[in-house]
Amino acid sequence: MRFIFVRKKWAYLGVILFALIVAGGLFLNLESVQTVSPENGKKFDIHMVTGEFKSKLENGKEIESYRWDPGSITVPKGEEVTINIYGVSGHEHPFYIEGTDVKGTVKKGEETIVTLKFEKEGVYRLICEAHQDPNTNGPMIAYIVVD
């Protein structure tokens, strides 16, 4: 019977090389997976909320920022989309969707429902008029990606 002896450094090198090959294979095979897709002819519903972040600076000053959550959504081009926005933080958020004639207001404790259809691909911004810049605890902007 013959034995094959492998030095320790070659064994470690072999394990590392094997791990790199496996990791490289996984990395090259990564594909984006669509996680939400309505059946053809079904309505496309998105649910969002208003949110707020608060913090204190070292000098004791409190700072806050408002946001839409999720901050980015993807919707299909040419299909009816319903966006349901529930007001959790802030008294009210008057908003508009850039590139459309959609305007509305989200009030705390209430749900605002907007139904629309995007005919052009692109990125549309959902902008809160009360929080447009850092001076007003913003910008409070969500991005609607139309594919």
pLDDT digits (tens, 9 = 90+) for 87-145: 999 999 999 999 999 999 999 999 999 999 999 999 999 999 999 998 999 999 999 99
pTM for the predicted model, two decimal places: 0.70
User: Per-residue pLDDT for 30 more than 90?
Assistant: no
CA 132/CA 112 separation, integer angstroms:
20
44 to each of 41, 76, 103, 118, how far by Cα in Å? Answer: 9, 8, 20, 12
pLDDT, one tens digit per residue, over 4-21 is: 777 888 888 888 998 888
Predicted confidence at residue 37, as pLDDT, reads 55
Predicted confidence at residue 7, as pLDDT, reads 84
Confidence of residue 77 (pLDDT cuts 50, 70, 90): very high
Predicted confidence at residue 31, as pLDDT, reads 64
Nearest-CA neighbor of 146 among 67, 78, 52?
78
Q: How many CB atoms lie within 10 A of CB 76?
A: 15
Confidence of residue 24 (pLDDT cuts 50, 70, 90): confident
Predicted confidence at residue 32, as pLDDT, reads 56
* Domains observed in the chain: 44-146 (2.60.40.420)
Phi-psi region of 23 (alpha: psi -120 to 50; beta: other; left: phi over 0): alpha
Count of H helices and E strands in the chain?
A: 1, 9
Q: What is the mean pLDDT of the segment spanning 46-66?
A: 94
Predicted confidence at residue 131, as pLDDT, reads 95
